Amino acid sequence: MRTFRRILGIVIVFALSVGIMSFLLTPPSGIRVLLKQAQEGDYDTLIMGQSHAECGYNPYIISDGLDVNAVSVARRITPINNIYYILQEANLDKKYKTVILDIDPYYWVLDQTRDLGTDMNLMPHLTGMRRYHYFREAVWPQRFVMLFCDYALTGENIAKIPNCVGAKLDSDYIANNDSAMNAVNKYLKSDTAFDYEGRGFLRGVNRAPDLAWAPTEFKGHVEDDNIYDLQRIKAYCDENNIRLICTQSALNPYRLRAQDMSEVHDYFTDLLGSMGIEFYDFNYAKSEYLHRTDEDYVDVDGHMMGNIADRQSQLFVEVLKSDDKSQYFYNTYDEVLSNL
């Protein structure tokens, strides 16, 4: 009996320690907030992807231009397998008719693992058998520790404890309101460069061109697991009569000159075309439709300021409504570079 009590005491202390440390160090969850909005709001069009998507496509402009109700659940550093599960969870009521999936090639050459503390463990936010499947596919083989402690114990994160606790105790965050994204973005320090406008959209308002960035070599292929998850996304959309549209957000001129994106364009044009998926690469958008300079971007990576995000969103609307979509795009990368 004494041994049992000791073991029980150790388990209780362990659980309390994990709970306290997780509360202090695990980032406030943006996907938790966005998923609730996508599930409960009167929406029929879902914008998905990573950070280029969350600041590059204005759901209000897309809604008005296409006579739809669009919302974004795009989040920075989201693995492709997470997008598959987020899509299913957002579509619990089977209300979505269109999915706009932005392709950021950087994430397609990576495997599914992510660093601790990136708000990418979906376990707390999934329901039904999705939680079991996600645990089996993602958490158990690759990041089991994230089930218990989804944070990295670093000096930087320890210094952010006051902001972390403040965000989690925010009344909007507790209530899981859309406006809680303001507290989440303050914790992430993205509030200095972006304003949150609702429906998952981050409007770039201040430039930060000194942020570090280095070209990522595209070796002509992506991770097989990511293709597998794209196939699952396509199959899910087909089964639920959802129109799947893939895009690539237009990058800044500096990056397009420093990193040859023609191979990326050709690869995804062929891959998505072979799967019967629409694909619009706005890197190839003609300058008369999407003129841009480096000043239109928050940083060298390619996160958009609000003005060009609005213009890209409007161009997206025009492309979808046009009977001649090719008129909006250059045919070659040489044309892209010569008109930047």
Taking only the tens place, the pLDDT of each residue in 44-82 is: 999 999 999 999 999 999 999 999 999 999 998 899 999
Among the listed ranges 28-42, 133-147, 234-248, which one has the minimum average pLDDT value? 133-147
Question: Rounded distance, CA 38 to CA 47, Å?
Answer: 10
**What domain count does the chain have?**
1
pLDDT at position 89: 96
Domain carrying residue 204: 2-338
Q: Kindly report the average pLDDT of the chain as a whole number.
A: 90
> How many other C-beta atoms are found inside a 10 Å radius of the C-beta of residue 3?
7
Q: Is the pTM of the predicted complex or chain greater than 0.75?
A: yes
pLDDT tens-digit readout, 139-185: 877 655 666 677 777 888 888 888 888 888 999 999 989 999 988 88
pLDDT given at position 116: 61
CA 16 – CA 18 distance, rounded (Å): 5
Calculate mean pLDDT across residues 253-264.
92
Mean pLDDT, range 293-319, rounded to an integer: 96
**Predicted pLDDT of residue 249:** 98
Of 278, 257, 321, 307, the closest CA to residue 103 belongs to 278
Percent of the chain with pLDDT over 90: 62
Measured CA to CA, the distance from residue 29 to residue 77 in angstroms comes to 13
Rounded distance between C-alpha atoms, residue 25 and residue 21, angstroms: 6
Question: pLDDT band for position 214 (50/70/90)?
Answer: confident
pLDDT in tens, 2-15: 787 888 888 888 88
Looking at residue 187, its pLDDT comes to: 83
Query: Ranked by mean pLDDT, which of 17-21, 179-183, 215-219, 227-231 comes out on top?
Result: 227-231
